Structure 1
Amino acid sequence: MHHIIARLTGQEVETTEARNGLRHVLSLSMTKLADGLIDPKLVLSWLLGILGAPAAIIGMLVPIREAGALLPQMLLGRRVQQIRYRRWVWVFGSVGQGISAGLIAVAALTLDGAAAGGVICLLLAALAVSRAACSVSYKDILGKTISQKRRGAVTGLAGSVSALLVLGFAALLLTGVLKSKAAVIGAIVSAGGLWLLAALLFSRIEEKRSTPEAPESAQGYLDILRDDLNLRRFILVRGLLVSTALAPPYMVLLSVSDESATGQLGAMVLASASAAFLSSYVWGRLSDRNSPLVLLFSGGLGAMAMGAAILATLAGIAEKPWIIPVVLCVLMIAHHGVRQSRSTYLVDISDENRRSANTALANTAIGLILLVAGALGGALAWAGPLYALTGFAVMALAGGFLALTLRAVDD
């Protein structure tokens, strides 16, 4: 198996690292596929609509999922610093996501209306906190088990593999095969099983023991932020580039005028999955070479995609079947570039004893920025989706150019 990793990374690789690399790829592929099967933007929103949950509750799904996965990370990061084998944090986080997904399926089978919406939102919050544990520990584990020039390739490969599998799920949505409530609940149960399997496999990662560190105090995190100018710039860049994640729902509003337009929804799911499959591995390899430059390119590409959606709307062609799915595909390619490069860059610039603290600090800050940016997008959307997209396009462009000021990564 180590020959596979060697070919994909373009470098010779030690047997232990090759085994770890394969376990990383398989575990991440399963969790990313699970994410696609329970996607709050699409799957859970559709399910709550079928269950008769109020629109206000459905609108809370994405903010709960995104901010909930980021805001607890500073507190969790303090605990991770005290743990010798940090893969277990990721393992328990993945188990938590699997259990939460299973309970969401149970709630969907037994409840309806506002009760179903409220319980599923609470369970999604639990899933998001479990995801936060995985996120805050993963970069440290990746840095300890995979060498610098292979990290982007490993995570990028996992993104492409999982995206290929999500393409199959999207095809089922597009063709109407997954059209019943029972089928969607079955997909959610499958997601839970995938998280549990990923936890089992990840527990086999061969990780060197870490020296427990004194947990950072709140003042300690503030000191890190005060003393590290480059980290502050990175947080600002990443904060501006959250626009690539917040823009897709507004593209949906531009293209779908009829709630029964499931074909168009399926086309957009297919476009999103295709973007991940086509770009994740490529972005990962490019991020290994120059992650700040990838941030520039992906931010600019995202801004161009949003601009294209705006122009298509002004020209009166946004509701044509293929226009917005194609534009969404470009936007999601840009978004995956942002995801790959920001993750690779943060690992590469952080000393081994600072990875967990830097990750927790950055992710907590981004959680707050997400809430502010989401509120800004919602305020602009009162005037129409075009205004929200315009604001997000400006953010993406600014974030891309600001990435040029980031410190170069040392080999």
Structure 2
Amino acid sequence: MAQRKIYELLVNEEDTRACRDIPDSACIKVPKNFVLVLLSQILLSLGDLLTSPKTVLTWLMSVVGAPAAMVAWLVPIRESGSMLPQLLIGAWVRRYAIRKTFWIAGSIVQGSCVLAMALVVSQWQGAVAGLAIIGLLVLFSLGRGLCSVAMKDVQGKTVPKGQRGQLTGIAGTVSGVLTLLVSLWLLRQEPDNLVVYIVLLVAAGLLWFSAAAIFSQVQEQPGETDGGANALQLAWQNLGLLKTDSHFRQFVLCRSLLLGSALVSPFLVVLAQQHHGNGQTLAWFLICASLASALSAVFWGKLADRSSRQVIIIAAAMALTGCAVLAALHLFVGQLALHGYLLLFLLLSIGHAGVRVGRKTYLLDMASGNKRTDYVSVSNSLIGVLLLVVGGISSLLAWWSLLAVLWFFAASCLAGLLYALKLPEVSQAD
């Protein structure tokens, strides 16, 4: 079969013979499922990069003349909006033995919202367009949250332990290479041409629909269910994991402190825009983001299958270095050349990619069955709340001093690194 040949080509020979942490009945279907999940992840990751709130949506809001105050909410809404409801979503999803349907539905919701954004920017301008984009982004985030809960559970049932990091890494690399090609095309376009953004949005929307069609072919084994359990009651009970499960609590604290690896990047882009606001800046930042994904994702993925803990530690150190160097240069040097901002953005992007791959693989490997679903929903819901809190703190600090924001995120990454050093091993090497 073609899927088996692709699977054997991509996965280490030793790992292709392994079938860790999944039902025996699912082992024979691993090659097909691995390839299908991989293709879905590639399309999803590419869509995410083409609609990034840090770059593309920010530029798009400026092009349509939306107020700057609306731009500030793009990242918090997209990230927290997909995480906050997951406590309830997780309790609801775990009532069903087959969960790929929820991922398919979430992907269709995301694709529909992105296509609707393309229609909005083609018809409206100013605050009206900005409000419509934000409203659609809220719905988009709900679909994203549904995909997040369902994907980790389906992947945990269909892809063996020791191969999950590789899958995530390969998907990140391929999507990064494809985004690089799009960025090079964008570099040749007129950056204020609205048609360019409409093309990006339509292409991204179609990617989500294609991913849903591919994912529908995954052969998922029925999992544990909770029957008719009340979602609200179950969600409240699951919050108790933070009190009773010290390992899980330590992981959530580490993940929370490493939020700075993602949230510092928009402030770097703002600094670059202030000093280098020419029309090609967006394309260069997209190129850096795609290079970071393409160059680091496979490395992070393979390392995560050996030790996801080590990935979190190394990536946290990189994020800390990027934040601290940016803060120090801003304090002592002031304005940097564009390539200086781009290099720091590349470092932070590689670090953040490592944090994402590391924490996803760590969470997949530290639990199984419904416990994995509970871990995902509780941690993501809590992170959604903290994103709004940290976003509010950084906004207040930015009114006072942008330098204070940079040092705040550097201190947060340092604390996250110290917590990562205390995490126990859960991956293949343990």
Q: When the two structures are superposed, what TM-score results if normalisation uses the length of structure 2?
A: 0.92
**Cα distance in structure 2, aligned partners of 1:385 and 1:9:** 45
Instruction: Give yes or no for contact 2:192–2:279 (8 Å, CA) kept in 1.
Output: no
- Does residue 121 of structure 2 align to residue 104 of structure 1? no
Q: How does 1:3-402 map to 2 (within 5 A)?
A: 3-10=5-12, 11-13=15-17, 16-176=29-189, 179-214=192-227, 215=229, 217-257=234-274, 260-316=277-333, 318-402=335-419
| CA displacement at 1:336 relative to structure 2 | 0.4
Counterpart residue type for residue 236 of structure 1: L
| CA displacement at 1:223 relative to structure 2 | 2.5
| CA displacement at 1:385 relative to structure 2 | 2.1
Alpha-carbon spacing, 1:179–1:172, altered in 2? closer, same or farther (3 Å): farther
Alpha-carbon spacing, 1:221–1:49, altered in 2? closer, same or farther (3 Å): same
Instruction: Give yes or no for contact 1:254–1:313 (8 Å, CA) kept in 2.
Output: no
Instruction: Give yes or no for contact 1:174–1:262 (8 Å, CA) kept in 2.
Output: no
SS in 1 for 2:61: helix
Counterpart residue type for residue 404 of structure 2: Y
**Cα distance in structure 2, aligned partners of 1:48 and 1:219:** 38
| CA displacement at 1:139 relative to structure 2 | 0.7
Counterpart residue type for residue 40 of structure 1: P
Instruction: Give yes or no for contact 2:224–2:369 (8 Å, CA) kept in 1.
Output: no
What is the match of residue 2 of structure 1?
4
Alpha-carbon spacing, 1:9–1:256, altered in 2? closer, same or farther (3 Å): same
| CA displacement at 1:410 relative to structure 2 | 6.0
| CA displacement at 1:8 relative to structure 2 | 2.6
- Identical-residue share of aligned pairs (%): 34
Instruction: Give yes or no for contact 2:261–2:348 (8 Å, CA) kept in 1.
Output: yes
Counterpart residue type for residue 10 of structure 2: L
Counterpart residue type for residue 9 of structure 1: V
| CA displacement at 1:222 relative to structure 2 | 2.6
| CA displacement at 1:48 relative to structure 2 | 1.8
**Cα distance in structure 2, aligned partners of 1:390 and 1:110:** 41
Counterpart residue type for residue 277 of structure 1: A
| CA displacement at 1:288 relative to structure 2 | 0.9
Cα-to-partner distance string for 1:228-248 (whole Å, 9 max, x where unaligned)? 111111111000111000000
Cα-to-partner distance string for 1:29-79 (whole Å, 9 max, x where unaligned)? 111111111112222222221212111122221111111010010111111
Counterpart residue type for residue 265 of structure 1: L
Cα-to-partner distance string for 1:140-191 (whole Å, 9 max, x where unaligned)? 1011000000000011100111011111122233333554101111110111
Alpha-carbon spacing, 1:364–1:62, altered in 2? closer, same or farther (3 Å): same
SS in 1 for 2:162: helix
| CA displacement at 1:381 relative to structure 2 | 1.5
Greater shift, 251-260 or 179-188, is seen at 251-260
| CA displacement at 1:4 relative to structure 2 | 2.8
**Cα distance in structure 1, aligned partners of 2:345 and 2:62:** 23
Instruction: Give yes or no for contact 2:320–2:413 (8 Å, CA) kept in 1.
Output: yes
| CA displacement at 1:408 relative to structure 2 | 2.0
| CA displacement at 1:128 relative to structure 2 | 0.5
Greater shift, 401-410 or 77-86, is seen at 401-410
Instruction: Give yes or no for contact 1:33–1:166 (8 Å, CA) kept in 2.
Output: yes
Greater shift, 200-209 or 377-386, is seen at 377-386
| CA displacement at 1:319 relative to structure 2 | 2.7
| CA displacement at 1:116 relative to structure 2 | 1.0
Structure 1: state its 5+ residue gaps. Answer: none
Structure 2: state its 5+ residue gaps. Answer: 18-26
Counterpart residue type for residue 122 of structure 2: L
| CA displacement at 1:391 relative to structure 2 | 0.8
**Cα distance in structure 1, aligned partners of 2:398 and 2:128:** 28
Aligned length: 411
Counterpart residue type for residue 181 of structure 2: G
Counterpart residue type for residue 193 of structure 1: L
Alpha-carbon spacing, 1:193–1:178, altered in 2? closer, same or farther (3 Å): farther
| CA displacement at 1:281 relative to structure 2 | 1.2
**Cα distance in structure 2, aligned partners of 1:382 and 1:258:** 19
**Cα distance in structure 2, aligned partners of 1:265 and 1:380:** 25
Instruction: Give yes or no for contact 1:254–1:385 (8 Å, CA) kept in 2.
Output: no
**Cα distance in structure 2, aligned partners of 1:326 and 1:222:** 40
Instruction: Give yes or no for contact 2:55–2:285 (8 Å, CA) kept in 1.
Output: no
Cα-to-partner distance string for 1:295-330 (whole Å, 9 max, x where unaligned)? 111111111011222233234364312101011101
Cα-to-partner distance string for 1:95-143 (whole Å, 9 max, x where unaligned)? 0101111111111111111111111111110000000000011111011
| CA displacement at 1:399 relative to structure 2 | 0.5
